[in-house]
Amino acid sequence: MALALLEITSISRGIVTLDALTKRARVSILISEAVTPGKFLLLFAGDVASVEESFLAGKAAAGESLIDTLFLPQAHEALLPLIRGERRDIVADSALSIQEFASVAAALRALDKALKATHCRGHKLHIARGIGGKAYFVLGGELHDVQAADAEGTADRLSSEIIARLSPDISLEHV
């Protein structure tokens, strides 16, 4: 499965871009919405060739309104459930990595890379809504895996924190 994302500065240009990319190839629209602070997110999935065609058409339609983009031709299988809002319970006494990014594309890129490079589990992904267009994710596992996932971080990460052993009184609703 391939994933692509376009972050656009203009809501109206975002809708025009959505029209252009869906006319190019058959893709599944996962997110198409305006988010604070006035950005428009388009996240879609499908087979590699279709997503790539739609991605290129979307980039052309968005033009100078693009803030950030992402094209993952072989996205990690854990990304889609996290994008859909599914959460995995935190295992007692596990370590956590919490990573925060200025753009959704940067967060998805880093999450995909961390999941592929380590044995961490994705617990939560929060995309743009209510946090000024930023995104963050929570990964858990053995401390050495969590540290490796954190080390995979990119220059566009705003912040990251590691909790070596999470308090048993904390659940996903708290993070």
Spell out the CATH class of 2-72. alpha beta
User: Is the domain defined by 79-174 classed in CATH 3.30.70.1710?
Assistant: yes
Please, which pLDDT band fits residue 62 given cuts at 50, 70 and 90?
A: very high
pLDDT at 153 over 80: no
pLDDT computed for residue 169 by the predictor: 81
Q: What is the mean pLDDT of residues 33-55?
A: 95
For residue 17, report the phi and psi dihedrals to the nearest 5 degrees: -65, -40
Residue intervals in the chain for CATH 3.30.70.1710 = 2-72, 79-174
The reported pTM is: 0.92
Nearest to 43, CA basis, from 126, 105, 107 = 105
pLDDT computed for residue 41 by the predictor: 96
Residues 153, 99: contact at Cβ < 8 Å?
A: yes
Please, which pLDDT band fits residue 26 given cuts at 50, 70 and 90?
A: very high
Q: What are 96's two structure tokens? A: 């956590």
